[in-house]
Amino acid sequence: MVKAAAATAALAPIAALGATAAHAADSVPAFLHGVASGDPLPDGILLWTRITPTADAVPGSGRGPDTRVGWEVAEDKSFSRVVASGSVTATAAADHTVKADVRGLRPKTVYWYRFTAGATVSPAGRTLTAPAADASTAGVRFGVVSCANWEAGYFSAYRHLAARTDLDAVLHLGDYIYEYQTGGFPEAKYVVRQHEPQHEIVNLADYRTRHGKYKTDADLQAVHAAHPVIAIWDDHEFANDCWSGGAENHTPGAEGDWAARAAAAKQAYFEWMPVRPSIAGTVYRRLRFGTLADLHLLDLRTFRSQQSKIGSGAADDPERTITGRAQLDWLKSGLSSSHATWQLVGTSVMISPVAFGSLPAHLLQPLTKLLGLPEGGIAVNVDQWDGYTDDRRELLGHLKDQGIKNTVFLTGDIHMAWANDVPVNKATYPASGSAATEFVVTSVTSDNIDDLLHVPADTASLVAEAAIKAANWHVKWLDMDAHGYGVLDVTAERSQMDYYIVSDKRRQDATSAWSRSYRTLSGTQRVERADRPVR
């Protein structure tokens, strides 16, 4: 059950943080960017903050002295029962961000944490450890979000998730920040609030500054202070439609070497996010929630081949990859060896195949921005798994051949909400059945088809949705109009995604309302509508 009153009390320190930020020049050191926790384990949690040691030590500046930052973890929010403490030095080399990977905690337990720098005390954060690996937990519940563009609106979706006290964690599926210059997306006349820096971010100082700007948002600070966040990256943490050797939004020469830009983006990401660097310094990793669910998190940018051209046939080339060989083998091995009831796979781009029937030209044009389509004709989105069909064939074939049940892909990226079966063979679905199911959440703020066309909801989208569903029988539902978030509730019997929408992304006080719910029952590999959200 949502207990907003309790959450409001728990998050009261955020208001104090905002007041502190307003007087940063007069009061340093200061914790101006909030506190965060992430990657919960049965015995531990990763804690994060940033200290501003001097007024000129702003994110990306490279200025400011080394500063000792203490941390403590307690069983109560008054910190009368401290169970762990320590300290770490914040330096300009890490942009004065600090992390503490705390161990020795109890499973499935709420803890409170805070940081100190001299006499300065940070706001308190609330976090939750994971169930014991062998625990038969009754359920696990995640907030699910993706695609938060600062210039496109306010982050009220985060505020509404922060107001819940029933979540084990918040899963962020990518595009936590956007790299564009101000007015790049959306157009300047539709910008709600401006990026910092205002130019496109390309170097380490730029990426640090952009991350720092995001973490001044009160709603973003609130969700981090209320719940552990489990995050993966997508393209906009780097540049639009990036791959291992470049990006659509990167000009070699004029914007430097791609490898240097990608390394800078990764460094800033790991400095500013409560994420443990995993294999080869990427974000693919695995978290366990008792015997109920394994969460397999993917990195679909670091190792991928360049996107193919529409209609070239290269999408089916077995030499091309979206995961890389090592990551795909790791995923297959983890799925095969898991004894958990559910296999949850965090994938930043959609794995379900999508073909597009005939659409009017005025609808195809905005869909090109969201889905990578050519402006004329029928095609797949080659930035998704549709552009790397051999990897998808191998993975789905592994699920079928190994008899792996209850696999649910959790996806963001395309600024729409979807509920899909993932067919073994789209051409013969439903006779060939499905290997898994997929829930896609819409964007927090990033433009959808209505925003790109500047039309009211349920005008252009109704035609587009009907055409997509007619050409894709495995798509059980999609919503091209809304912005918001999802809440995934997992029990032994079913996994259910509740979709919530915010009233107006351009208003800081936007309300939130339940829209739809879809679920997959254990053992079925099919999506069906549920008539109410979980309570």
pTM of the model: 0.92
Return the residue matching tokens 């909030």.
Answer: 34
Task: Note the pLDDT of residue 368.
Answer: 59
Task: Note the pLDDT of residue 378.
Answer: 44
* Parallel/antiparallel/unpaired status of strands 139-145 and 285-289: unpaired
Name the residue among 457, 534, 458 with its Cα closest to residue 495: 534
Task: Note the pLDDT of residue 298.
Answer: 98
- At 266, is the pLDDT very low, low, confident or very high (cuts 50, 70, 90)? very high
On average, the pLDDT of the chain sits at 91
Lowest-confidence region among 74-83, 465-474, 509-518:
465-474
Q: Is the pLDDT of residue 431 over 60?
A: yes
Task: Note the pLDDT of residue 8.
Answer: 36
Task: Note the pLDDT of residue 216.
Answer: 98
- H or E segment to which residue 463 belongs: helix 460-471
Q: Is the pLDDT of residue 462 over 80?
A: yes
pLDDT tens digit sequence for 36-55? 999 999 999 999 999 999 99
Distance CA 353, CA 311 (A): 15
Peptide bond just before 274 cis, omega within 30 deg: no
Q: Is the pLDDT of residue 467 over 90?
A: no
Task: Note the pLDDT of residue 365.
Answer: 61
CA 176 to chain centre: 6
Task: Note the pLDDT of residue 357.
Answer: 62
Q: Rounded to the nearest 5 degrees, what angle is found at the Cα of 403, between the Cα atoms of 138 and 437?
A: 60
Lowest-confidence region among 1-10, 160-169, 392-401:
1-10
What the block records as the tokens of 441 is 């959440």
- At 3, is the pLDDT very low, low, confident or very high (cuts 50, 70, 90)? very low
Return the residue matching tokens 């009261």.
Answer: 12
- At 212, is the pLDDT very low, low, confident or very high (cuts 50, 70, 90)? very high
Task: Note the pLDDT of residue 371.
Answer: 62
Task: Note the pLDDT of residue 280.
Answer: 74
Residue 508 CB partners (closer than 8 Å, separation 6+): 154, 156
DSSP 307: P
- At 403, is the pLDDT very low, low, confident or very high (cuts 50, 70, 90)? very high
Task: Note the pLDDT of residue 358.
Answer: 57
What the block records as the tokens of 229 is 């966040």
Q: Is the pLDDT of residue 302 over 70?
A: yes
The 475-479 sheet, strands edge to edge: 285-289, 293-297, 342-347, 407-411, 434-440, 417-423, 475-479
Q: Is the pLDDT of residue 510 over 50?
A: yes
Of all residues in the chain, the percent with pLDDT exceeding 70 is: 90
Return the SS3 of 40.
strand
125 or 468, which is more confident: 125
Task: Note the pLDDT of residue 511.
Answer: 98
| Residue 533: half-sphere exposure toward Cβ, Cα within 13 Å | 14
Task: Note the pLDDT of residue 524.
Answer: 97
Helix axes 13-22, 218-226, angle to 10 degrees: 140
Give the alpha-carbon dihedral of 193, 199, 200, 204, to 10 degrees: -110
- At 359, is the pLDDT very low, low, confident or very high (cuts 50, 70, 90)? low
DSSP 455: -
Return the residue matching tokens 């930043």.
Answer: 348
Q: Rounded to the nearest 5 degrees, what angle is found at the Cα of 459, between the Cα atoms of 462 and 359?
A: 55
- At 355, is the pLDDT very low, low, confident or very high (cuts 50, 70, 90)? confident
**How much is the average pLDDT of 277-281?**
78
Task: Note the pLDDT of residue 215.
Answer: 98
Let me know: does 269 contact 276? Beta carbons within 8 Å. no
Task: Note the pLDDT of residue 24.
Answer: 47
* Rg of the Cα atoms in the chain: 22
Give all domains of the chain, ordered by start, each with its CATH number: 1-129 (2.60.40.380), 130-530 (3.60.21.70)
CA 426 to chain centre: 27
Task: Note the pLDDT of residue 12.
Answer: 42
23 or 401, which is more confident: 401
DSSP 187: B
Task: Note the pLDDT of residue 27.
Answer: 84
Bridge partners (DSSP) of residue 116 are 70, 121
pLDDT tens digit sequence for 142-193? 999 999 999 999 999 999 999 999 999 999 999 999 999 999 999 999 999 9
Task: Note the pLDDT of residue 15.
Answer: 39
- At 17, is the pLDDT very low, low, confident or very high (cuts 50, 70, 90)? very low
**How much is the average pLDDT of 293-301?**
98
Task: Note the pLDDT of residue 414.
Answer: 94
Q: Is the pLDDT of residue 447 over 90?
A: yes
Q: Is the pLDDT of residue 138 over 50?
A: yes
